[in-house]
């Protein structure tokens, strides 16, 4: 990856991010441990925010306009186990869509840093 290129550009921009997010949610919504957390949630709105969020994390020209991570997950009682599963599915979705291993690790590190805001709130 050249220095002037962000991960977002390298992986193929919005189309690639949308494919990853779609794949990611297929995995999340298929997991019986995670399903209860997402009951009654507006999946389309969540999907749109997640596309923005992943784009922003990957250095794309997209700003994330959702709630901050602590506020977004407050009162859900998200466990470490649930967080681990979600992070695992994100990694799988990224790899499935041929994102370079180095870029996968960078994205997962950024997301992992959010664990204290998401778990146990
Ligand atoms: C891996 C780190 C995670 C990231 C980066 C993340 C990111 C996000 C984002 C961007 C939103 C949208 C916020 C908004 O609508 O303003 C959101 C909402 C949500 N997240 Fe997460 N999330 C993570 C982990 C989790 C986990 C582990 C769970 C549950 C097991 C979870 C459950 C939810 C639910 C249920 C909502 C919908 C809230 C609502 O619409 O009321 N998230 N998340």
- In this structure, the dihedral spanned by the alpha carbons of residues 72, 17, 21 and 41, taken in order and rounded to 10 degrees, is 40
Does residue 36 fall inside a structural domain?
Answer: yes
Task: Tell me the pTM.
Answer: 0.89
Dist. CA 44–CA 93, nearest whole Å: 18
* pLDDT one digit per residue (tens) for the chain, 121 residues: 455 689 899 888 999 999 999 999 999 999 999 999 999 999 999 999 899 888 988 888 888 888 888 998 999 999 999 999 999 999 999 999 989 999 999 999 989 999 999 999 8
Question: What does the pLDDT read at residue 83?
Answer: 96
Q: Which domain holds residue 90?
A: 7-118
Does residue 13 fall inside a structural domain?
Answer: yes
Give how many domains the chain has, as a whole number: 1
Q: Is the CB of 94 under 6 A from ligand 1?
A: no
Does residue 1 fall inside a structural domain?
Answer: no
Question: What does the pLDDT read at residue 53?
Answer: 86
CATH number of the domain within which 55 lies? 1.10.490.10
Does residue 26 fall inside a structural domain?
Answer: yes
Question: What does the pLDDT read at residue 121?
Answer: 84
Dist. CA 51–CA 96, nearest whole Å: 17
Backbone φ and ψ for 69, nearest 5 degrees, come out as: -60, -35
Question: What does the pLDDT read at residue 3?
Answer: 58
Atom from ligand 1 closest to the CA of residue 83: 27
Question: What does the pLDDT read at residue 5?
Answer: 84
Dist. CA 56–CA 120, nearest whole Å: 25
Q: Is the CB of 46 under 6 A from ligand 1?
A: yes
Atom from ligand 1 closest to the CA of residue 57: 5
Atom from ligand 1 closest to the CA of residue 52: 10
Does residue 2 fall inside a structural domain?
Answer: no
Does residue 96 fall inside a structural domain?
Answer: yes
Does residue 75 fall inside a structural domain?
Answer: yes
Dist. CA 15–CA 60, nearest whole Å: 12
């Amino acid at each position: 990856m050249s220095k002037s290129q962000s991960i977002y550009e390298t992986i193929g921009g919005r189309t690639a991010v949308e494919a990853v997010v779609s794949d990611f949610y297929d995995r999340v919504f298929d997991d019986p441990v995670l399903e209860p957390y997402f009951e009654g949630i507006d999946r389309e709105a969540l999907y749109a925010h997640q596309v923005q969020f992943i784009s922003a994390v990957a250095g794309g020209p997209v700003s994330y306009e959702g709630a901050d991570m602590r506020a977004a997950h407050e009162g859900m009682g998200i466990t470490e186990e649930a967080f681990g599963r979600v992070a695992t599915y994100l990694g799988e979705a990224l790899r499935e869509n041929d994102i370079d291993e180095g870029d996968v690790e960078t994205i997962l590190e950024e997301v992992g840093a959010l664990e204290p805001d998401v778990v146990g709130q």
